Amino acid sequence: MPAAAANRVIQVLCLLALAALLGLSFGSVQPNRIVPGTDFGIFAALGPAAAAPVALLGLVTLLAWRPNPRRYCLVLTGCILLLGALPWALAWFAQQKVPPDLPYARAGTGAAVWCLAFLLLLIAGEALQRLHSGWLKLPLILLPLLSLLLCAGNGGLEPLALMREYSSRSDQFGRELRTHLLLVAATIGFALLLGFALGVLASRSALWRRPIFAVVNFLQTIPSLALFGLLMVPLSYLSAHSPWLQQLGVRGIGWAPALLALIAYSLLPMVRNSYVALTEVPPALIEAARGMGMSRRQIFLQVRLPLALPVIFEGLRVTTVQAIGLTTVAALIGAGGLGTFVFQGLGQAAMDLVLLGAIPTILLALLADVLLGSCAGIFRHGGRA
C-alpha cells in the first residue's frame, strides 16, 4: 500500500505558527492602562521554557509528513496541549515580568499568542476533518477551556490587563453575560418554533413556499444596524400609545427591537433546514409507512421528523452561533450584553476592554457549535455518538 502524501495544509499552518511565535510579541508590560508597554518575544518572556512549544510545533510538522489516523490523533493531541498550556505560560510571564511595586502595572497578551491560538484551531480542524470524527471537537474545546478556568481560578492570570479590566467590572460583567444569554435563548426559542412551523408549511404547500422564502431571504439581506434602526421608530410609537407595552418595558431602544431583529435574522437557517430536512425524506419510506396503515400525523411524527432531526439540528446550530454574534451588535441600541464592553473599549481605545466582551462571545459561539454539532451527529448515527 503506497504511503500517504504529506498534509501540506498542516505543514504550512505549523510553519506560520512557528513564524508568529518566533517573530511576534508574546506579551507586553505596561506601567498603567494608557502608557504603551514594552514588548517581549517568546524567549525573553519564557526563557528556556520557550523551547517546548517550538519543539512541539516542529513535531506536529513532522507528523504531517506521512500522515495516518494515529498521527492525526497525535497532531490533535499536540494542539490540545499547546492550547491548554497557553494560559499557564501567560500567567508565568505576567507573574515574572510585572513589577509588584507598581499597583497599576499590567501584562498584555501579544500578537503571537492570538495568532498561535487561531492557527492551532485551524490545524486541529484539519486533523478532525481527516479523522471524520465530530465528537473529538469536545475535548478540543473543553480541555483548553478547563485549563484556562483553572489558571484563572488559581490567580495566575491576575496581572493580565484583561483580568484587571474584569476585576474592576465583575458585577457588570455578570449582569451583561446574563442579558446576553437571555437574549440568545429567547431568540433561539422563538426562531425554533416559528422557523420550524414555517418550514413545515413550506414543505406541505407550494402556494406558501415562495412567499415564505422571499420574506426570510429579504430579512437576511438587511444590514443588522439598519434593521435595528428601522425597528426603533414603530416600537417607539407603539410604546407611546400603549400603556400595556410600556409596562412590559417595550421601547424604541433596549431589548425589544434587539429581540425582534435577532429573530428575523435567525429565521432563514431554521426555515431552510426544516424545509430541506422534511422534503428530502425518501419517498419509499413514506409509501412503506402508508402501506402499514399509518395516518398522516403518524407518518410525520414517527418517520419524517426523526429522519429530519439531524438537518434541523444543523440549522439550530447555525442559528445559535449567528445569534450569539449578532447579540453583541445589539448593545448599540441599549440592549446590553457582552457587546457593551466591546463598544465601551472602542470608544476609550482600550483593547483589553474590547477583549473582555469579545473573548466570552467567541467561547460561547465555539461551545454552541461543538455541542449542537455533536447532537446533530448523534441523531445522524441513530443515537450513537
Question: What pLDDT is recorded for position 122?
Answer: 92
CATH topology classification for 170-380 = MetI-like fold (1.10.3720)
Question: What pLDDT is recorded for position 382?
Answer: 56
Question: What pLDDT is recorded for position 103?
Answer: 76
DSSP state of 241: T
Tell me the H-state helices in the chain.
Answer: 8-23, 42-46, 51-63, 69-97, 111-131, 137-153, 161-168, 170-204, 206-221, 224-240, 243-248, 255-279, 283-291, 296-299, 305-329, 339-348, 351-380
Give residue 360's identity as a one-letter amino acid code: P
Kindly list the domain boundaries of the chain, sorted by start residue.
8-161, 170-380
Lookup: cell for 160: 493580565
pLDDT tens for the 385 residues of the chain, in order: 344 677 889 999 999 999 999 999 999 998 877 777 889 999 999 989 989 999 999 998 888 888 888 889 999 999 999 999 999 999 999 888 888 777 788 888 889 999 999 999 999 988 888 887 667 777 888 889 899 889 888 888 888 888 888 888 888 999 999 999 999 999 999 999 999 999 999 988 888 889 999 999 998 888 877 888 888 888 887 777 777 777 777 777 788 888 899 999 899 999 999 999 888 888 888 888 888 888 888 888 888 888 888 888 888 999 999 999 999 988 888 888 999 999 988 888 778 889 889 999 999 998 888 888 777 777 665 544 4
* Separation of alpha carbons 249 and 68, rounded Å: 58
* Separation of alpha carbons 305 and 131, rounded Å: 29
The whole-model pTM stands at: 0.83
Contacts of 108 (CB under 8 A, 6+ apart): 27, 28, 29, 30, 37, 160, 161, 352
Residue 249, by phi and psi: left (phi above 0), alpha (psi -120 to 50) or beta?
A: left
Question: What pLDDT is recorded for position 4?
Answer: 61
Question: What pLDDT is recorded for position 104?
Answer: 80
DSSP state of 5: P
Phi first, then psi, for residue 253 (nearest 5°) are -125, 165
Cα angle: 166, vertex 169, 172; to 5 degrees: 120
Would you give the distance in Å from CA 260 to the centre of its chain?
22
DSSP for 312-340, written as a single string: HHHHHHHHHHHHHHHHHHGGGGT--STHH
* Separation of alpha carbons 147 and 142, rounded Å: 9
Question: What pLDDT is recorded for position 381?
Answer: 59
The answer to whether the CB of 3 falls within 8 A of the CB of 70 is: no
